[in-house]
Amino acid sequence: MRRLLILLLLVSLMPVPAQAQAAGRGCFTKAEEAAEQIVREGLRLREGARGCEGPPWNMQTLALWEEVDQRFGPRFAAQTRIRRNAFQREFSDDADNRLEMWNGRIVFHFRHYPLSEVYCAGIKDMLDQTRKKGWGVLQRSAFKGAGEVKMDYRLCDR
């Protein structure tokens, strides 16, 4: 198992052939950055709603998430497509694998985030506000997490 991990690490450090890099820009645009932030916020809300639904928090958040997801599913899908296209451009030789690794990392983080009454109340409030006031509330919340995305990706506009 240790040898496999070392091999995977070495392969990930190998230079990408120049031909594969030529199509990429080497950075993510503002629109792609925004898409990443919105996708992460959606994952945070989804996983928070699932975790806060039952005991011991009993916040009844799952129905709220399902309503938000039903209402804004096409917008989430559009942001997901923007994000996927960025990965395909930047990592043309391995886009699907890299995207799945990032998705797994983000979902794992939010699925195992330490829940508390305060966190669950915040998830419930965010879902309620999004239901009542719309997509803009979700966008503003997502853009508060811009620092994380800036640490993870090289942005074109720096």
Q: What integer is the mean pLDDT of 28-39?
A: 95
Return the residue matching tokens 């997502």: 142
Nearest alpha carbon to residue 48 among 37, 38, 60: 60
What is the pLDDT, as a whole number, of residue 1? 43
What is the pLDDT, as a whole number, of residue 47? 97
pLDDT at 26 over 50: yes
Least confident of 18-32, 61-75, 80-94: 18-32
Query: Percentage of the chain surpassing pLDDT 90?
Result: 70
Supply φ then ψ for residue 154, to 5 degrees: -80, 125
pLDDT confidence bin for 158, thresholds 50/70/90:
low
